[in-house]
Structure 1
Amino acid sequence: MRFEILGSLRVTDGEDVFTVSAPKMESLLAALLVRADDVVSMDQMCTEIWGDEPPRRATAALHVYISQLRKLLGRVHQGESPIVTRFPGYALCLGDSDLDAHEFQRLARQGRAALRAGRHQEASAACGRALALWRGTVLGEVRGGPIVAEFATWAEETRLECVELRNEAELTLGRHRELVGPLYALVNRHPLIEAFHGQLMLALYRSDRRAEALRVFQQLRETLDRELGITPCRQLHELHQQILADEESRVPAAA
C-alpha cells in the first residue's frame, strides 16, 4: 500500500487507487499521514477538522471517522488497518507501506549530498526523481488545520529548494540553453526568489544572451524595490557586474 500526499490525497495498491470523499475524514487522514508513525492527539484532531469551534459531540464524531477510515484502509490492506489507538489519540503506522513525502525527502537529501560532493550528474538525477513525485498542490483541496498547513508550507519550500539544487547541477554540467525556458517560468511564478533570477541570468549569459541577462537583473531590482524596498543580494550584484563587464572567466559555473 502506498499513500500519496504530494498532490491530491490518495491511497494506491498496485493499479487500484482509493480516495476519501468525505472532507472531514480526508482532513483527519491527512493529519495522520503528515504525522505518520507519531501520535496525533484528540485535541489536535478536533482543531484540524473544526478549528476553535468543535461541536458538542466532537469526540464521538472523531471515533466514527476513525472507524470509517480503519474500514477503508483495512479493505485496501487485506483486513489490517494501519491506524492504531495510542494515548492520547491515534497514530497511522506505515509499516511496510510507503509515503511519497518520505521518498521525496530521501531523494532530496541524496541530491543535496551529491551536489556538495561535486557529483553533479547524480545530484541532477536525484532531484529530478524527487520532483517527479509531485502531482500538483500538496494535499490538493484538503482543508486542514495547523498540522496540514505547516506541512504544506514546509513541503513547498523544500520543493523549491530541490528545484534550485537541480538547476545548479544542470548549470554546472553546461546545460544552460535547456534551462532558459524553465527558468523564465520560475521567475514569473516566484518573482521574489533571487536564486532563480541569478540562475536565469547565468543561463542567458552562457547562451550568448548577455543583454537579456542584464535585463533580468534590472527587472528584479525594480520588483524588490517596489515590493519590499530592498535591493538584490550581494552575490547577484557581483554576478551583474561580471556580466556587465563581460568577464567570462570570472562568471561562475553556477549562480
Structure 2
Amino acid sequence: MEFRILGPVEVRTPGAAPRALRRKPGQVLAVLAARCGKPVPVDRLLDLVWGDDPPPRARKSLQVHVSALRAEGVPVRHQDAGYLLAADPDQVDALRFRALAARAADVPDLAERRAAYARALDLWRGTPLAGAESEPLRAWLCAPLEAHHLAVQETAIGLDLVLGRNGEAVDALTPLVAEHPFAENLRYQLMTALLACGRRTEALAVFQDVRRTLADELGVHPNTRLRALYRDALGV
C-alpha cells in the first residue's frame, strides 16, 4: 500500500487505481504519513487538522475519520495517547522523495546523479495535499515540502547546465521563474541557459525583468552574481 500526499491525498493498493480521500480523513492521513511509524498525540492532530478553533466534538470527529481510514485498509494504530501510521516510510511518497533526493546527492557520475534526481521529482503530482490544505498544515507540512522540492529542482537544473542540456534547462526554468519571481538563483540559471543557447536578448530581458520586480516589490537590487552575469552578457 502506498500513501501519497505530494498532490491530492490518495491511498494506492498494488493492482488498483489510487483512491482519493475526503478532506478531513485526508488531512489526518497526511499528518500520520508525514510522521510515519511515530505516534502523533491527539492534541497535535486536532491542532493541525482544525487549527485554533476546533469544533466541540473534534475528538469524536477524529475517531470517525480514523475509522474511515481503517475502512480503506490504512493501518492506523492507537498508541501513547495518539495515533500512528504503522507502515514503512518508503510507502509514503513525501518520505520516499526525501530519501531519494538525499541518495542522489551521493551519486558520483553526474548524468546518473541527474537521473536519480529525476526519479525523486517524478513522485510529485502537484501541490501537496491539494484540496485538503489547512493553514496549520500549510505551515507545518506543505511549505517545507515545497521549499525542498524547489531546492531539488534547482540542483537538478544545475546539473543540466553542467551537462550541457541548456535547452532542457530553459524549458524547466521558464515556468519556475514565473511561479517564483523573486528567486534570484532561478533567474541566474535561466540567464545562463539562455546565453549558452545563444539567446542573448532573452537573457538580458530576464535580468531587466528581475531588476524591475525586485525594485518595485522589495526595494532592492539584484544580487552581485546576477549583476556580474548581466555585465558579462553585455560584454562590459
Q: Is the structural similarity TM-score above 0.5?
A: yes
Deviates more, 1:89-98 or 1:29-38: 89-98
Identify the residue that residue 27 of structure 1 maps to in structure 2: 27
> How many Å apart are 1:148 and its aligned residue?
5.1
Cα RMSD after superposing both structures: 2.0
Aligned partners of 1:120 and 1:170 also within 8 Å: no
Q: 1:71 to 1:184 in 2, by over 3 A?
A: closer
Structure 1 unaligned spans of 5+ = 74-80, 247-255
Partner of residue 153 from structure 2, selected from 149, 163, 171: 163
Distance 2:89 2:141 in 1: 23
After TM superposition, what 4+ stretches of structure 1 lie above 4 angstroms from structure 2?
none
Q: Once the two structures are superposed, what CA deviation does each residue of 1:159-200 show, in whole Å capped at 9, x if it has no partner?
A: 111111111101101111332233222212211111111111
Q: How does 1:129-148 map to 2 (within 5 A)?
A: 129-144=119-134, 146-147=136-137
Q: 1:61 to 1:214 in 2, by over 3 A?
A: closer
Distance 1:110 1:33 in 2: 21
Distance 1:123 1:131 in 2: 12
SS at match of 1:113: coil
Aligned partners of 1:31 and 1:148 also within 8 Å: no
Distance 1:14 1:50 in 2: 32
Matched, 1:240 2:230: yes
Aligned partners of 1:83 and 1:93 also within 8 Å: yes
SS at match of 1:90: strand
Identify the residue that residue 204 of structure 1 maps to in structure 2: 194
Distance 1:178 1:145 in 2: 35
Identify the residue that residue 10 of structure 2 maps to in structure 1: 10
Identify the residue that residue 166 of structure 2 maps to in structure 1: 176
Distance 1:180 1:121 in 2: 18
> What letter matches 1:239 in structure 2?
L
Aligned partners of 1:8 and 1:141 also within 8 Å: yes
Aligned partners of 1:30 and 1:148 also within 8 Å: no
Aligned partners of 1:214 and 1:243 also within 8 Å: yes
Q: 1:196 to 1:68 in 2, by over 3 A?
A: same
Aligned partners of 1:2 and 1:100 also within 8 Å: yes
Aligned partners of 2:39 and 2:82 also within 8 Å: yes
Aligned partners of 1:41 and 1:88 also within 8 Å: yes
Aligned partners of 2:187 and 2:207 also within 8 Å: yes
Aligned sequence identity (%): 37
Q: Once the two structures are superposed, what CA deviation does each residue of 1:131-178 show, in whole Å capped at 9, x if it has no partner?
A: 111111111111335245421001111111111111110110111133
Aligned partners of 2:11 and 2:19 also within 8 Å: yes
> How many Å apart are 1:221 and its aligned residue?
1.0
> What letter matches 2:20 in structure 1?
T
Identify the residue that residue 46 of structure 1 maps to in structure 2: 46
SS at match of 1:3: strand
Give TM-score, length-normalised by structure 2.
0.91
SS at match of 2:40: strand
Give TM-score, length-normalised by structure 1.
0.84
SS at match of 2:105: helix
Identify the residue that residue 101 of structure 1 maps to in structure 2: 94
Aligned partners of 2:49 and 2:136 also within 8 Å: no
Aligned partners of 1:7 and 1:140 also within 8 Å: yes
Aligned partners of 2:34 and 2:95 also within 8 Å: no
> What letter matches 1:176 in structure 2?
N
Equivalences, count: 235
Deviates more, 1:53-62 or 1:131-140: 53-62
